[in-house]
């Protein structure tokens, strides 16, 4: 019996010695996993927040650039239409130069070629036209070109109409982006 008691006691002693270290080892492994899990979880949560926020930031920046581009296009088209519908025989050279400074391409060449003839015609008729842009809207645009529809009115006085005559214009302006500016490359009268 003594052997049995000793054997049983040895088992209990061994069980007592090995059991707490095993628990400590398991506790250490669990703690290590928790210790790694927290930073990994935080990194994952941060990525889940940062990626959509970054995407939204890029989209907002693009939208802001497009709005700015559209404002620049409309400002250039309005000024071009105003220059085109406003002239005074007393300083037609300045007025025609205003049109040319906002023009490019075939439109600029054609207008420049007709300036001498128009200067004589405007002077003979003592023409004065005071334009006003009523509305302008972009029909199509990208970073290199745009098409803008403009509604403008002008009051024209000349030898045939000394009291003035009102004229309405519906214009389609094609613009191109050159040298950091939006310039008119074509003007058409539309319906």
What is the model's pLDDT at position 36? 67
Segment 41-48 shows an average pLDDT of 74
Q: How far apart are CA 149 and CA 147, in angstroms?
A: 7
- Which residue did the predictor score with more confidence, 69 or 10? 69
Question: Is pLDDT at 153 greater than 80 in this prediction?
Answer: yes
Which of the residue ranges 10-14, 39-43, 128-132, 156-160 would you say has the lowest mean pLDDT? Answer: 10-14
Q: How far, CA to CA in Å, does 43 sit from each of 37, 50, 53?
A: 10, 10, 15
Q: Domain limits of the chain? A: 1-191
In DSSP terms, 88 is beta-bridged to: 128
| pTM (2 d.p.) | 0.72
Specify the fold of 1-191: Nuclear Transport Factor 2; Chain: A, (3.10.450)
């Amino acid at each position: 019996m003594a052997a049995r008691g000793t054997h049983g006691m040895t088992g209990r002693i061994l069980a007592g010695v090995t059991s707490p270290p095993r628990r400590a080892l398991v506790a250490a492994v669990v703690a290590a996993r928790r210790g790694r899990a927290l930073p990994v979880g935080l990194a994952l949560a941060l990525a889940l927040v940062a990626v959509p926020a970054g995407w939204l930031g890029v989209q907002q920046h693009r939208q802001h650039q497009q709005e700015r581009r559209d404002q620049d296009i409309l400002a250039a088209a309005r000024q071009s239409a105003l220059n085109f519908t406003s002239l005074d025989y007393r300083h037609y050279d300045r007025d025609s130069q205003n049109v040319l400074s906002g023009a490019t391409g075939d439109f600029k060449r054609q207008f420049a070629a007709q300036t001498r003839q128009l200067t004589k015609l405007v002077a003979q008729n003592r023409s004065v036209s005071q334009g006003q842009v009523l509305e302008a809207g972009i029909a199509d645009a990208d970073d290199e070109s745009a098409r803008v529809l403009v509604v403008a009115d002008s009051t024209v006085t000349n030898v045939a109409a000394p009291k003035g005559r009102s004229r309405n214009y519906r214009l389609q302006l094609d613009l191109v982006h050159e040298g950091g500016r939006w310039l008119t490359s074509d003007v058409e009268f539309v319906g």
